[in-house]
């Protein structure tokens, strides 16, 4: 993806971009020290994608409700400063190289569909 556009929503932010994959966003977020990806579900023939991750004991979600990729706090009780850390990191998206992308796809493939 060459360029990323993002805007704040009520609970997080949405990103749009050409040739943008939600897996690359999750792989980028995973670069934030302390992030643990818990679950991922996607359907091969649709655009549906959800990934859950934890940061500092709080749960967040990356999802594709339409054509955009949204990142938001899953639990509304997450302190604003922690949400800001995650969203600022995600908003500063850095290109994920193809090897990292493929490795992330393989690792996420074996994750459970739903977080425990």
Q: How far apart are CA 23 and CA 3, in angstroms?
A: 16
Q: Judge whether residue 9 has pLDDT over 70.
A: no
Residue-wise pLDDT tens digits, 53-63: 999 999 998 88
Domain 4-109, classified CATH 3.30.310, yes or no: yes
Backbone φ and ψ for 22, nearest 5 degrees, come out as -65, -30
Domain ranges of the chain: 4-109
Residue-wise pLDDT tens digits, 57-107: 999 988 887 667 788 888 888 898 998 899 888 888 777 888 888 888 888
Per-residue confidence (pLDDT) for residue 31, from 0 to 100? 93
Alpha helices in 1-73 (DSSP H): 22-29
Per-residue confidence (pLDDT) for residue 49, from 0 to 100? 82
What is the number of other CB atoms lying within 10 angstroms of the CB of residue 114?
11
Mapped onto helix, strand or coil, the DSSP state of residue 85 is helix
Q: How far apart are CA 52 and CA 71, in angstroms?
A: 10
Strands (E) across 25-106 are located at 36-42, 49-55, 58-63, 69-73
Can you give the pTM of this predicted structure?
0.79
């Amino acid at each position: 993806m060459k360029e990323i556009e993002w805007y704040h929503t009520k609970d997080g932010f949405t990103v749009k971009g050409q040739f943008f994959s939600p897996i690359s966003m999750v792989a980028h977020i995973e670069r934030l020290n302390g992030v643990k990806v818990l679950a991922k579900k996607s359907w091969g023939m649709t655009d549906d994608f959800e990934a859950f991750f934890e940061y500092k004991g709080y749960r967040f979600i990356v999802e594709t409700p339409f054509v955009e990729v949204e990142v938001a706090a899953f639990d509304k009780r997450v302190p604003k400063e922690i949400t800001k850390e995650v969203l600022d990191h995600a908003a500063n998206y850095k290109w994920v190289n193809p090897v990292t992308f493929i490795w992330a796809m393989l690792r996420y493939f074996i994750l459970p569909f739903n977080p425990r």
